[in-house]
Amino acid sequence: MIAQPIDDIHHYGRRLAAALSILPGDKRILEKNRKNIKQFLEYIRAEGLSIPRQVRYVYVLRKISNLLGKEFYRTTKPDMITIVSEHRLRIKTCLRCQESNSPTNSFCSRCRPPLDMRTAMQLHEEESKTHSVMDDLLEDPEVKEVLLSKLKAMAR
Ligand SMILES: [Zn+2]
């Protein structure tokens, strides 16, 4: 599998834009924390961190800010320990590559397989639906004829 197709980069670019656009409107985020998040993002962007990571950091920092209900610079170590243990319960860890994914992710942001059974089941259902559509089509005499003539033409 290709590590990061162009489409994915655009996809993450949109997700980053979406994550950032929530920042100013999220009333739960304290003004100072909002500023800190933006500064931090500028810093990691300058450091060349990938867009998926930027998206994740925005998500995690917003989450931490909301869980804390406190300004980042006033945060104590015990505060962080509480937050991290609580956050860890909600994070979805990919079974294949151990990547930490945000709870809103259905697919691993790194290696792509579904993160939970529900998504996997949905995919499976979609797949079997496609198969039965193909079966129905092949039962159709007209489709069969077209296919056969196509195959004959190709064999020539
Ligand atoms: Zn993974």
- Give the Å distance between the CA of 102 and the centre of ligand 1: 12
Residue 16 and residue 52 in one domain? yes
pLDDT at residue 144 greater than cutoff 70: no
Residue 59 and residue 27 in one domain? yes
Interval 128-151 mean pLDDT: 63
* Residue-wise burial string across 16-43, b where 16 or more C-beta atoms lie within 10 A, e elsewhere: beebeeebeeeeebbeebbebbeeebee
pLDDT value at residue 60: 75
pLDDT tens profile 17-71: 777 777 777 777 888 888 888 888 888 888 888 888 788 778 778 877 877 788 8
- Give the Å distance between the CA of 98 and the centre of ligand 1: 6
- Give the Å distance between the CA of 131 and the centre of ligand 1: 27
Helix (H) or strand (E) holding 92: strand 92-93
Residue 41 and residue 77 in one domain? yes
Our count of domains for the chain comes to: 2
pLDDT tens profile 83-134: 766 665 567 778 788 888 877 778 888 888 887 777 776 766 666 665 555 5
pLDDT at residue 152 greater than cutoff 80: no
Residue 127 and residue 51 in one domain? no
- Give the Å distance between the CA of 104 and the centre of ligand 1: 15
Q: Ion ligand 1 — residues with CB under 5 Å?
A: 94, 96-97, 99, 108, 110-111
Residue 1 falls inside a structural domain: no
- Give the Å distance between the CA of 65 and the centre of ligand 1: 26
- Give the Å distance between the CA of 100 and the centre of ligand 1: 8
Residue 33 falls inside a structural domain: yes
Residue 93 falls inside a structural domain: yes
SS3 100: strand
pLDDT value at residue 97: 85
- Give the Å distance between the CA of 108 and the centre of ligand 1: 5
Residue 71 falls inside a structural domain: yes
pLDDT value at residue 1: 46
Nearest in space to 64 (alpha carbons), one of 88, 95, 99: 88
Residue 65 and residue 137 in one domain? no
Residue 42 and residue 98 in one domain? yes
pLDDT value at residue 16: 78
Residue 85 and residue 128 in one domain? no
**Domain limits at 13?**
6-115
Residue 149 and residue 90 in one domain? no
**Confidence band for 6, pLDDT divided at 50, 70 and 90:** low
- Give the Å distance between the CA of 141 and the centre of ligand 1: 44
Interval 73-88 mean pLDDT: 72
